[in-house]
Structure 1
């Protein structure tokens, strides 16, 4: 990781780690903060940082790059998710969502609010819920769609007036009324 940082961020690297003591201390500090993460994940995060940042990343930056991004988890960007939530037909639970997070963010934002409020007001509300739910997904939570109630196999028919009187009498007898 440090060798790649030195090649890519040459001037920043030499300024940050100007002498062997600083470099040694930095490596110990980075190791203590990254030792709980698999080496292949750290290397992938290093490559991602090199692709996405023009500045030498910090420990916190590498930790952030160690988390999977939304695209890797199948999560659409927040605006696409917002549009999907606004355009989904009723019943919402039966719609084929691109990801359950979109459904849960829409439900948390209130379907009526999304449908009846202008985008400049509704989108920030949806985005806040969506970002929270995406973070939960990144932390390993599995989201499920609500289950639909099945139609009962037997459909009861109304009682005849005579059967209704008979049941009513039976209830009165049981309750001593």
Structure 2
């Protein structure tokens, strides 16, 4: 999968044209196809796309602007762009979105990633933030645990509901983006066993053995 940063490094937008064969020879053909395919997809989704890009010159400027916008927003993988295109298709709109709106659509929802909805995740984090829960906390997904830990369990417990929700939602949004980008999350700590055995002291062991020998000697 190509990285958006690699795309920008290799594409000369000052000479870019919609058709791949019109790209200068110095541009990698695969890179040109990736850039052009994004805009071809947008044109196929939005019938009124010419309102935004009426000619080749406008399209060239749009490509330059969009790639800069995607990079600035941290859209670095084609998987994120795929989510954006999925939302474009579901929008039902005729007009192409702005780069800012497309960036927003590139951020998949928790549900799209198979994660608990934000409100459900917050309620789970709020429950597990209670000191009485401690090591017995159960987490439905590492993303929920990650967001709760980043928010601070003590903060979620002591803050009022609105403030705690706002704090958690911000960190859960970040965790969702990490999942979408394949980045590692905080590991959920393993629960401690209900009973922890401690080894007996050597002198205690010797004393018990002596008692056993004495008892056996009386029986013989």
TM-score interval (norm. to shorter): 0.5 to 0.7
Indicate yes or no: 2:44 matched with 1:14: no
Asked if 2 retains the 8 angstrom alpha-carbon contact of 1:74 and 1:99, the reply is no
Q: Residues 118, 53 of structure 1: CA spacing in aligned structure 2 closer, same or farther, 3 A cutoff? A: farther
What is the distance in 2 between the residues matched to 1:26 and 1:114?
A: 46
Q: Residues 21, 97 of structure 1: CA spacing in aligned structure 2 closer, same or farther, 3 A cutoff? A: same
What is the distance in 2 between the residues matched to 1:37 and 1:141?
A: 12
Deviations, residues 56-102 of structure 1 (Å, cap 9, x unaligned) = 12445545545544223222232221111122475455443221121
Gaps of 5+ in 2: 1-37, 71-75, 208-220
What is the distance in 2 between the residues matched to 1:157 and 1:133?
A: 47
- Aligned counterpart, 1:80: 120
CA RMSD of aligned residues (A): 3.9
Indicate yes or no: 2:178 matched with 1:136: yes
What is the distance in 2 between the residues matched to 1:93 and 1:51?
A: 42
Deviations, residues 106-132 of structure 1 (Å, cap 9, x unaligned) = 233333432343212221122222223
Q: Residues 93, 107 of structure 1: CA spacing in aligned structure 2 closer, same or farther, 3 A cutoff? A: farther
What is the distance in 1 between the residues matched to 2:105 and 2:171?
A: 22
Asked if 2 retains the 8 angstrom alpha-carbon contact of 1:82 and 1:127, the reply is yes
Indicate yes or no: 2:192 matched with 1:156: no
Indicate yes or no: 2:90 matched with 1:46: no
- Aligned counterpart, 1:106: 148
What is the distance in 1 between the residues matched to 2:81 and 2:145?
A: 32
What is the distance in 1 between the residues matched to 2:61 and 2:159?
A: 51
- Give the aligned length: 157
Asked if 2 retains the 8 angstrom alpha-carbon contact of 1:44 and 1:66, the reply is yes
Q: TM-score, normalised by structure 1?
A: 0.61
Q: TM-score, normalised by structure 2?
A: 0.51
Asked if 2 retains the 8 angstrom alpha-carbon contact of 1:45 and 1:62, the reply is yes
